[in-house]
A = this chain, B = another copy of it.
Amino acid sequence: MPMVTIQVTREGTTPDRDAPTNEEKAELIKGVSELLLKVLNKPLDSTFVIIEEVPLENWGWGGLPVPELRRRLAAGQS
């Protein structure tokens, strides 16, 4: 009966993509379900996984939205 919620920023792993691919999402679902089977003996058919894709401007870290945080890091400003 595990419920796993994976929240990630909506961006791709390569420049030509703007979101995780369905293959990547399938890999996350498989990996986390098998992890719970291995560590806590939770059967695969008792595990729910939800992936939430969050727009970059809607995720904050260090007091800044991610795009601004990355802009400053790229400009060498901590």
A74 interfacial by beta-carbon distance below 8 Å: no
Interface size for A (C-beta < 8 A) is: 52
Contact of A32 among B7, B24, B32 (CB under 8 A): B32
Select which of B5, B47, B66 is within 8 A of A63 by beta carbon. Answer: B47
How far in angstroms is the closest Cβ of chain B from A15? 12
Provide the A23-47 mask, 1 if CB < 8 A to any CB of B, else 0: 0111111111111101111101111
Question: What residues of chain B lie closer than 8 Å to A62, measured between beta carbons?
Answer: 33, 44-45, 47
Contact residues in B for A44 (Cβ distance below 8 Å):
62-63
A39 touches B24 (CB 8 A): yes
**A58 B53 Cβ-Cβ under 8 A:** yes
